[in-house]
Structure 1
């Protein structure tokens, strides 16, 4: 017991050392999007760069699954983040209100800003919704319900392929945890859908993020249900078919991750580097940023959080100036925004 405690303390000291070292070099800015919370709880943030600047979104309400949970947005201006505004709810035609979930923002090049989200009592019964903005997220269209069976990007951002196809990484939880992909060539007006790439029985996975590689291959990194590690798969044909899911060396406590390919070809991953405990979800702290040249071997770029609490469900993008912007859930109370300079390694 003493040896185990000592090992834990040594691990903590190492991690704190990494935090102090990396924080002074890679992290440019750390801030809350809002100080006064508009709702008791929040979760599942997303971030995008528009022609007018950054915009972030998340779901918020009394608590996750509560019918009053809606979709909120805030814009980054010269004076900081604007007061959050609720832009979507789950109110149905009969007046009944259902919870909203997992917003995902995507800026069409020289076009509209898309806001995907889900509505429904639970992840096994929800459906996909979409709103559009022509003015960088200041005003929004009426909500569109996506076709039956189409959920939209489930947590992490879609990616635009060289072919002009918008590839939406998604997953379902109605028959085990299964990963699939949805493709649109006209910004969400018509859709195609792939079959699941896993059966979810022995390798349940959800919430993929897509990475690009110099040889033209695509890679996904997924949240794992039971294996205790992030899972990956590879595609050589633009996301039409995928290899079988395999576990990586990256721990996963059954918590969401996100990743992005940088302009220089390196890969950045934001994740909780912990493992499940006694077969149940593990702690969602610390929260790390890792970087890789090949998507296989990773090293820590920065430690975003290492205190007790929940720091989870990150979203990550690279903006036109080369900086990396990350948002994530801070103790289910607020959304934190961090700016990381990938040139510091």
Structure 2
């Protein structure tokens, strides 16, 4: 659906050049919600603006449904952009236009008949839950309502792709959840492919199928959301996951553990699916001569799959702890030893 091949983006010239994107390659499948996460300055906005050529890459290819859009004539590119809706961080609404006027704008620019515009705008405002706000102006709306207007406007030309550039970063958590639910509904009802740029890992967790981690203009890790949360490989991915699964052990607890004279080892255990409902630790405590101390635990849902994350201290003889760990491996549960100060 969306294919980027070795995309480079350079700003400035001569000795003042800054390479914002460094040979980016990714493939977003039809009907997928694909997330790109990174800190400020990582190149996220440059990447998403290259998809519809609001920013022209220095090199590489942008393929939309197999079409190299950089090879299109200006008139052909304008037609292609109608199939790509975009939602912005700051909403980008026209303050002088009503909600109806903002949503109608793309259709008016496309010279659609008046009755068709009226029908389409009413349909979209009903879909986003703002049918009673058609005559209001942006200044009369909350942040969440403004973003819903932006979403309705982005859907006006019946796009097959929706680009979201930090679409929830200006919203409070409750409003963010409602907007994400709306985006899921858009994918379900219209089959639209969504590319989402964000620095919020909770957004990735709640809505995305796959995620790429962007750092200094490069994709350093790409995985399904479930796999990334289960076992992030790069330091930056681990930092992002930690913002959602904050399982660092307090220093005071680390000190108490280190003061113990007994043999102990600390592990991270990840449960997925049905394994989250199994009494694994209770079984371990009964089956082996080990004490099990849960230092941290969370359970959430990723892509509709229950996901549990525990940090556990096993205390006992070295032999018994090894036997317990071997048993856990046999249950096909992911487990990895960690240090108290590097969880």
Q: Report if TM-score (shorter chain) is over 0.5.
A: no
Hey, which of these two has a bigger chunk of helix by percent?
2
Q: Which TM-score applies when normalising by structure 1?
A: 0.28
Q: Normalised by the size of structure 2, how large is the TM-score?
A: 0.28
Larger radius of gyration: 2
Higher strand share: 1
